Structure 1
């Protein structure tokens, strides 16, 4: 979810065509997941910030892309990307009321509340003055939101995140969860990164996942999950959520490998698929377990081929969903 600045052009229509390594975590949580990926890679082309991870706790350098600042920055069950562009006539929506768990629901997640945070907004590029204003994230100030990145063919990250998030909502609701999206293309821009955190907090969410795709350099491939660092500064205090957020991230990472066949990023996180950051407002300001997932690199042609595939996006949503279910069921 590398971010483009105010000069970002409107997306063009898509042309057809751990501090504790995940090696241990995956072995404990999803036996054989990475081994399964190795087999997958041997017989086929396994592929697959707020932006690329600028500072990882592992100390691995970040390559390519631009640093994002969103919450790090299409249709629910269809295998094609959603259509429709930004609506300038829509005003930012007020924060909806706190969701009440659907007691009529059935399934293993009945009574659980999950907030899904689709990174960016398709209309952000038309509201640069609004998204460029800064907000307090505890460790400093950052832009309200960013435009996100895109593939070289113009498939916007904001479209990708909405599509995967809608698919994810459908899967989780089928498990009995009460699901809320921070935005569903129902507002002109945003929400700002502090509001994105507040939505999860006020919902009393049992888990929050922010969905993104990275914009790093060509050749940088794979996914990574961003975990909140332990932060206690200003409005930010992640001491109570750092550990459960790590568990959530580990479970999502293990299941994402298993379901999609994608490898952990080869350019950040030291091959673990996990990165810890203290500069993302969406994590710093959260009071409930929350992680970001960068599903792949939109600027690499091989990863882009996956990210623009409806069938692969469905697998991505399935992998994230199974990680959330695993976390919530304990």
Structure 2
């Protein structure tokens, strides 16, 4: 089923042939990359003594027992240009001081109440697509939009601890959206050094693992990815390597040919970006084994750490 600015994995053509990277090989990308944090000899989740670091705020209640958050309704929630959401607290000096990272939590918990608005068509450079979608959920009803906000907030905390300025495209502070074209504009306007869109997939049971989506070479209308294809791939490879090492998750067994990487030309959020950007599908919400991870607050902290260390490795290279 479609669950973000995409078409369903099962309806897309098969992945292009690429060299197959095993989980160990992806972890090795991190270990051999300059500036990669952590010791690859440690157990997943124990990298550099940081994987057990608590989140800045208490973990949210169990998905099975708590309602979805309700975004605040305000005039600021209307579609239109946005600078995104940034923290007001002062940042410490650290290895990422002077760097700007945009985190794009996929979907919005309020999208389900604004189907007319999110079904409106927007220009993605090479065509037109829906403004946004509702996203997927686990079979027990834990929404992708809740997952992406939780991981993105944890990721923000980890990056800010290293001195980075972090912008969220939405922080539960608007009624719906933003639309996929606005999500790209937020990263562009921030002149971000890196942008990561956080998602979880909605594929068939038995399809497991994560994958990172990279921008293809696209030129048409407002879309021209020529300058970001190479740096985005570097960002994606480093995130994939760190994600394997920190979470212990394997690359997707159904997309990417075992590489954990998938290149796409149909996503407005990538097509319209002028700064390095990738998507990460952290797992498959429709598979019971993956869902058990995605609904675990402890695993979500590891997921955030894996992405944060990948971003840090890319920015410190």
* Coarse TM-score class (shorter-chain normalised): 0.7 to 0.9
Deviation at 1:282, TM superposition (A): 0.2
2:74 to 70, 87, 90: 90
Tell me which residue corresponds to 1:3. 3
Pick which of 20-29 and 224-233 moved more: 20-29
Change (3 A) 1:2 1:126: same
CA gap of 1:21–1:30, structure 2 versus 1, over 3 A, is farther
- Whether the 8 Å CA contact 1:77–1:166 is kept in 2: the answer is no
Q: CA offset at residue 80 of structure 1?
A: 3.1
The answer for unaligned runs of 5 or more in structure 2 is: 6-15, 45-54
CA shift, 1:264, in A, is 0.2
Residues 1-330 of structure 1 aligned to structure 2 (within 5 Å): 2-3=2-3, 21=19, 23=21, 26-30=27-31, 77-81=57-61, 85-87=69-71, 89-91=73-75, 92=77, 95-96=82-83, 105-330=92-317
TM-score by length of 1: 0.78
TM-score, normalised relative to structure 2: 0.81
Across the aligned residues of Structure 1 and Structure 2, the Cα RMSD in angstroms comes to 2.9
Kept in 1, the 8 Å contact 2:86–2:168? The answer is no
**Structure 1 counterpart SS, 2:109:** coil
Distance in 1 between residues matched to 2:282 and 2:258, nearest whole Å = 15
**Secondary structure at 2:112 match in 1:** helix
- What is the rounded CA distance, in whole Å, between the counterparts of 1:22 and 1:303 in structure 2? 22
Unmatched segments (≥5 aa) in structure 1? 6-17, 41-74
Query: Contact (CA 8 Å) 1:26, 1:250: kept in 2 or not?
Result: no
Instruction: Report if the CA contact (8 A) 2:26-2:240 is conserved.
Output: no
How far off is 1:122 after superposition? 0.2
Q: How much does 1:285 deviate?
A: 0.1
CA distance, structure 2, for counterparts of residue 2 and residue 214 of structure 1: 9
Q: Distance between the aligned counterparts of 1:281 and 1:159, measured in 2?
A: 22
Match of 1:68 in 2: none
Is residue 103–residue 111 contact of structure 1 (8 Å, CA) maintained in 2? no
Shift of 1:228: 0.2
| Partner Cα separation in structure 2 for residue 305 and residue 26 of structure 1 | 23
Aligned partners of 2:30 and 2:58: how far apart in 1? Answer: 30
Tell me the CA shift for residue 3 of structure 1.
Answer: 1.8
